[in-house]
Amino acid sequence: MEKKTFTLIDLSEAPVYQYLNLNKYARGARALALADSNSLVLLPKHRTVVALKKLYEAVLWQNKTNIECLWIDNPTYCLDQDILASPQYMKAIRQRLHKAVANGFEIHTMAHQYNPYFEQWMQQMGVPFISNLDDQTWYNQYHSKALLHRHIQTPNEPSVIERYVPEVKVTQGFVASNINQGIEAFRRLKDLGVQNILAKAVEGTSGQGITGLEDWSDIEELSWEQDDYIITEKLPVDTNVLGAEANAVILFHKQKIFNPPHTMLMDGYSMDGSIMPFLSNPQQHKNLFKQVNPLLKWLVSTGMKGDGGLDFIFSENEAYLVDNNLGRMSGTHLATYFQKSHVSANLPFIYFKIDYNQQNIEEVWAQLKASNLAFCSETQTGIFPIFYLQGIAGVMAAFAPTNLEAHHMLDLCAEMFEVKVA
């Protein structure tokens, strides 16, 4: 008999991303997209989040049961810090979890990534739970993008990926920890004949912290006091059938791949969303999984058990691993979990960002309805703002029978809200 599950959803921002100045409400509000029957959602109490919750209730939660929300006042960039500091919140969460256990539920948690504050307060709940996260030891050892490249201080020593998964191809590059090392890495790549070079912050996300380098002097402008950087070649990228950069996103949860892969929608270095299923030719697909399968096998052998993702680009049909989002959810996880909760058919979909839109959520939804683009539960198609904070950030998801129809919805929506998307 399958166990009943009660899910605690907490997408608090992790302290490691504080320096990126992500809005303090953004990550927590995304928890609404993961809510399903029998869940407790922790949310920052802000007018834009309250408005978004009302839309979820009206459109998507009518056939759901037992979705509860706990509002966290005075949020910092990290909701878990507020919870840990508040006996009131601790008591409310503890009571709800104990009630679920008493009613025969198994407690599951969904969080963005390892966060010491989350671990501290969750351990005080006094209930057994199953987490979607990897533990601190694994996270500290394996989550970093620095796994992909040699450090410039030890250029003859293989990277972790080279040592354990030689099948994986990466771009030429080096990890550097200060300006002088960055300049040395830049010069070494030039000596190797690399023409186009970029810098990637080791802890960067969604394209933040990626900078093209025209000259070694550009390295002095990087935020070295906040992060290490990968100084790496920028390969010419193939184009797909939509005329966009050919790439693939592999998502997994507890060692299971979410099929099929996605294609990232890029605007320069920034990831603006993704489309599923991913757009590739047979040779690209073959080359991709020649690397993915041994890489995931190795990750499992290290003890990985949580959410993660792998980003590849294609150059002359060969796949290159350019980013490893390990030990955490990505934006594409958000859209995929939303689909699993609210869209019964495994329809193609696109999600994309509409940041800084000044309309409120009621106006956005009215526009979508007036244009016959609003998501309809009966047909399982249309666009839904799975995450939207007025004037701050937003993520739309478009569901359609085919990739091209979903992409057409994206184009119409982007034009409507004057958003540049790939």
Note the pLDDT tens digit of each residue in 222-254: 888 777 899 999 999 998 877 788 899 999 887
Q: Are 112 and 71 members of one domain?
A: yes
CATH code, 188: 3.30.1490
Final residue in a domain of this structure, among 187, 207, 233: 233
Residue 158, preceding bond cis, omega within 30 degrees? no
Enter the pTM of the model.
0.87
In-domain check, residue 367: yes
In-domain check, residue 139: no
In-domain check, residue 376: yes
Q: Which of 80, 144, 89, 69 is nearest to 112 (CA)?
A: 80
Q: What is the model's pLDDT at position 211?
A: 83
Q: Are 279 and 345 members of one domain?
A: no
| pLDDT tens digits along 37-95 | 999 999 988 888 999 999 999 999 988 999 999 998 866 667 888 899 899 999 999 99
Sheet holding 173-176, edge to edge: 150-151, 173-176, 229-233, 197-201, 210-213
Helix or strand run (H / E) with residue 263: strand 256-267
Q: Are 252 and 228 members of one domain?
A: no
Q: Are 11 and 126 members of one domain?
A: yes
| pLDDT tens digits along 118-162 | 989 999 999 999 988 888 899 889 988 999 999 999 999 999 999
Q: Are 298 and 414 members of one domain?
A: no
Is 60 exceeded by the pLDDT of residue 19? Answer: no
Q: Are 25 and 82 members of one domain?
A: yes
- The residues, ordered by sequence, that sit 6+ positions from 82 with a Cβ below 8 Å of its Cβ are 72, 73, 74, 75, 76, 89
In-domain check, residue 335: no
In-domain check, residue 140: no
Mean pLDDT (the chain, rounded):
87
Q: Are 241 and 219 members of one domain?
A: no
Residues 238, 318 contacting (CB under 8 angstroms) = no
User: Mapping DSSP to helix (H, G, I), strand (E, B) and coil, where does residue 299 land?
Assistant: helix
The total number of structural domains in the chain stands at: 4
| pLDDT tens digits along 208-218 | 668 888 888 88
Q: Are 37 and 129 members of one domain?
A: yes
In-domain check, residue 332: no
Average pLDDT over every residue of 304-308:
89
Residue with tokens 């399958």, as numbered in its chain? 2
Q: Are 114 and 181 members of one domain?
A: no
Q: Are 21 and 43 members of one domain?
A: yes
Is 50 exceeded by the pLDDT of residue 422? Answer: no
Domain range for 156? 145-164+172-233
In-domain check, residue 333: no
CATH code, 318: 3.30.470.20
Q: List the structure tokens of 138.
A: 């694994």
In-domain check, residue 334: no
CATH code, 49: 3.40.50
Q: What is the model's pLDDT at position 394?
A: 85
Q: Are 185 and 266 members of one domain?
A: no
Q: Are 25 and 45 members of one domain?
A: yes
Q: What is the model's pLDDT at position 270?
A: 59
